[in-house]
Amino acid sequence: MRVYLSEDYKSMSRRAANILSAQVITKPDSVLGLATGGTPVGAYQQLVEWYQKGDLSFAETRSVNLDEYYGLSPRHEQSYRYFMQVNLFDHIDIKYENTHVLDGLAKSPVAECARYNQLIRSLGGIDLQLLGMGHNGHIAFNEPGDGFELETHLVTLTESTIEANTRFFGRREDVPRQALSMGIKNIMQARRILIMVSGEAKADIVCRAFRGPISTQVPASILQLHPDVTLVGDREALHKLVEAGEPVCG
C-alpha cells in the first residue's frame, strides 16, 4: 500500500484528483469506480476545474458507482445518482450513458444486483476504484459482519451508518433503511484502489483497518490483501496510522 499524507482536506483532494486524472489521461476509456459521501467532493471539484481548463477529458471514460439507497428515485436530492450529477457528471464531458448507478427504484433488488455484476464484467472490470471509509470501517455499504465473498447485494444499514447519514437528510426517520451496494468481491476485483480518508473521527478506524487483523468486523481491513492500494488522507485522519509505524510517501 502507498500512503500519501496531506496537511489538509484541500491538498488531500488535489492529490486524489491527480491520481484519478493520471488514470484517465493514460487510459482515456478507463472504467472508474466512483464513491459518494463527503470525502470525495473536493477531489471531484478539482477534476471539474481541470476539465474546465482543458487539461482533462472524460469523453471516453466509463463509470460505475459503488452504491445507491434502495427506495430513492434518481431525482431525489439525497440519491447517489443526483449526488454524482451535481458534484461531477453535469460539469464534465462524460457521456450520461457511460455513467452507471444502481437503480434505487428497481422492483427486484436481486435482479438489479445481478444486472450490475454483469454490467461490471461486460465493461471489462474496474480500472480504478475510489473509496471512502465509514466510521465503522464500512466500504461502500458493506457493513461489519457482511461476508467478504459478496458481490452486489441489498444491504440493511446499521444504526451507526443511519446516524452518520442523518446529517444529509436532516431527520433520522428520512434516512432509507436499505441500500444496493457493490460487495467486497467486486471491490477487490478492481485493478487499482484509491481510498480517501479525512478528519480526526476516522483516525482510529483507519489504524484498525490497515494495521489490525483482517476481519469482517472491519470491512476495509480486507484491502490489506489487495495488491494495488493507494491511501490518501489528511493529517487528522492519518496521524494514528503513522504513529503506529506505517510508512508514508509524502
Calpha distance 68→81 (Å, rounded): 7
Calpha distance 118→203 (Å, rounded): 36
| Strand pairing class (192-197; 2-6) | unpaired
145 binds ligand F6R (CB under 6 A): no
Q: Is 200 annotated as catalytic?
A: no
| Spatial contact of 216 and 145, defined as CB atoms under 8 Å apart | yes
**Closest to ligand F6R by CB, 23 or 36:** 36
67 binds ligand F6R (CB under 6 A): yes
| Spatial contact of 138 and 144, defined as CB atoms under 8 Å apart | yes
Calpha distance 192→125 (Å, rounded): 11
- Binding residues with ligand F6R: total (CB under 6 A): 13
Site string for ligand F6R, 179-218 (x = CB under 6 A): ----------------------------------------
139 binds ligand F6R (CB under 6 A): yes
Which of 13, 30, 36, 61 binds ligand F6R (CB under 6 A)? It is 36
Which of 42, 104, 134, 219 binds ligand F6R (CB under 6 A)? It is 134
> What's 158's DSSP letter?
P
Q: Give the residue numbers annotated as catalytic, written as ranges.
A: 67, 136, 138, 143
